[in-house]
Amino acid sequence: MSTSSKTDMEMKSQPLDNAISDPELAQHKGIENKEGSVVANWNGPSDSENPRNWSSGKKLVQVMLVSGFTLYSNLAAVMFAPGAQDLVEEFGITSTIVVSMTVTIYLLGFCVGPLVLSSLSETYGRLIVYHICNLFYVGFTIGCALSTDTGMFLAFRLLAGIAASSPMSIGGGTIADLHVEAERGKAMAIFGMGPLLGPVSITKV
């Protein structure tokens, strides 16, 4: 075996730790700081700012709030159905497909929203995404009420669905932020009541 071949084999058999300690690779460890980003961490395992160290009552309130968000967002998906006929008469809609879309296009927002909102929550935090989406949801719902034609209504209805998808998109992440793995089962059960009760409760309204 030639000397060069033996050297190549020895280099390939080096442990991964040795490869990572190469000076050319080691200099990349500080890229995040050089670009101005800040890596935050908790001040020890008992940091009061860490959501996992909050009291059980405070955690429960947060979970119930997120569950409430999912309830109203799913409630709005079907609660318009009884009023669809009034919209048909007001705007003179003749296509059965368009009539169906007045209800279902809201759910299309549930498909589009998570693609964006989940990433935004990881970058900017979950609370700010919740607040902004709630404001947009209210605004777009008002837009639906003030619509003057079918296209305008469908556009606002779609945007309302995208905004309303925020609790469904990042609710699971909120549960993970609050609870360790062993506690998440009960929290997810409470969280899951929102999307379950939303469509069911509309039959009683």
In a domain, residue 10? The reply is: no
The position carrying tokens 């961490």 is: 41
**pLDDT score of 142:** 95
Q: How far is CA 205 from the centre of its chain?
A: 28
In a domain, residue 160? The reply is: yes
Which two tokens mark 51? Answer: 């959501």
**pLDDT score of 195:** 76
| Total number of residues shown for the chain | 205
Higher per-residue pLDDT: 75 or 150: 150
The predicted-structure confidence for 114-151, as pLDDT tens digits, reads as follows 999 999 999 999 999 999 999 999 999 999 999 999 99
| List of E strands, 32-126 | none
| Local confidence band at 52 (pLDDT 50, 70, 90 cut-offs) | confident
CA–CA distance, 205 with 201 (Å, rounded to integer): 7
Q: Do residues 194 and 167 touch, judged by C-beta distance below 8 A?
A: yes
* Residue 24 scores a pLDDT above 70: no
Kindly report the CATH number assigned to the domain that includes residue 108: 1.20.1250.20
In a domain, residue 73? The reply is: yes
Q: What angle do CA 80, 84, 88 make, to 5 degrees?
A: 155
Which two tokens mark 199? Answer: 């469509």
Q: Do residues 29 and 156 touch, judged by C-beta distance below 8 A?
A: no
Summary count for the chain: helices (H), strands (E): 11, 0
* Residue 27 scores a pLDDT above 90: no
In a domain, residue 39? The reply is: no
The tally of domains found in the chain comes to 1
Q: Do residues 87 and 93 touch, judged by C-beta distance below 8 A?
A: yes
In a domain, residue 9? The reply is: no
Domain hosting 107: range is 53-204
In a domain, residue 187? The reply is: yes
Helix (H) or strand (E) run with residue 143 in it: helix 126-145
- To the question of pTM greater than 0.75 for the whole model, the response is no
The position carrying tokens 């305008």 is: 152
How distant, in Å, are the alpha carbons of 37, 66, 173, 193 from that of 169?
26, 11, 8, 15
CB atoms near residue 15 (< 10 Å): 8
In a domain, residue 12? The reply is: no
In a domain, residue 47? The reply is: no
Q: How far is CA 52 from the centre of its chain?
A: 20
